[in-house]
Amino acid sequence: MSATAANSKAPSRRPRPSLGPVAALQYSPLPSRDYLKPVLDTDPALALEALRFSALGLMHAARAVLPAMREARDGSIILINGGTSVKSRAGFAGTSIAFPAETAYGEMLHEALSEEGIRVRQLVIPGAIPRLRSRADSTTLPIGSGPCTPSRDSSGTCSFPWTTGANRPYSRSGMGDGSGTS
């Protein structure tokens, strides 16, 4: 299940029981271009919308899957976002405000749930998150779209979140030029 929201409304429905228990949640919503405005053009309403989308969206998504994960005493929550989760940028005010809140919630979840076998990890991809190209049909897909297969993952971006830090404490990993981690 990928909790990718199309707007600022947080995912609020539980996964349908017919899908079975959810063992992994990838939370990587594509932020609105409005959240990429300069700080002097960002008003409190836009900052609140970005927080609702990023941090509160993660809370809703996690609450939907945690009961089954806790019962199974196993599961993974993977957060994928950009470099503003660790280094604010005046030109991207909304994500610079919201992504650190999402990161903090992820760290707290990991601390609270790690002894129950539930892992929380974060992948920071500085700059624009790359699009995956299918060699079979030359379509371009954002991360989280369709099956994660080697034919769509020539850069290793798709598989990276699922293999990084699998058995470690809360881990924040970076891809690209390294500017997204500190």
Domain CATH number, residue 54? 3.40.50.720
Let me know if residue 35 belongs to a domain. yes
Rounded to whole angstroms, the Cα distance separating 173 from 182 reads 10
Residue 150's pLDDT is 47
Let me know if residue 11 belongs to a domain. no
Residue 126's pLDDT is 82
Q: Scanning the structure block, which residue is given the tokens 């002097």? A: 40
Instruction: Give yes or no for residue 153 having a pLDDT over 60.
Output: no
Higher confidence at residue 156 or residue 31?
31
Let me know if residue 49 belongs to a domain. yes
Instruction: Give yes or no for residue 89 having a pLDDT over 80.
Output: yes
% of residues, the chain, pLDDT over 70: 59
Q: Say which amino acid occupies 62.
A: A
Let me know if residue 180 belongs to a domain. no
Let me know if residue 84 belongs to a domain. yes
Domain range for 140: 17-174
Residue 43's pLDDT is 97
Q: What average pLDDT does this structure show over 122-130?
A: 76
Rounded to whole angstroms, the Cα distance separating 14 from 65 reads 7
Q: What average pLDDT does this structure show over 100-113?
A: 95
Residues 173 and 165: beta-carbon distance below 8 Å: yes
Collapsed DSSP state (helix, strand, coil) of residue 134: coil
Let me know if residue 59 belongs to a domain. yes
Rounded to whole angstroms, the Cα distance separating 153 from 160 reads 10
Let me know if residue 6 belongs to a domain. no
Residues 24 and 76: beta-carbon distance below 8 Å: yes
Let me know if residue 102 belongs to a domain. yes
Rounded to whole angstroms, the Cα distance separating 100 from 78 reads 15
Higher confidence at residue 153 or residue 18?
18
Number of domain units in the chain: 1
Average pLDDT, the chain: 75
Instruction: Give yes or no for residue 2 having a pLDDT over 80.
Output: no
Strand pairing category for 140-141 and 118-124: unpaired
Q: What average pLDDT does this structure show over 81-95?
A: 92
Helix intervals (H) in the chain: 44-51, 57-72, 93-113, 160-163
Among 2-6, 97-101, 108-112, 117-121, the range scoring the smallest mean pLDDT is 2-6
Alpha carbon distances (Å) from 38 to 31, 69, 88, 182: 15, 39, 11, 23
* Total-model pTM: 0.69
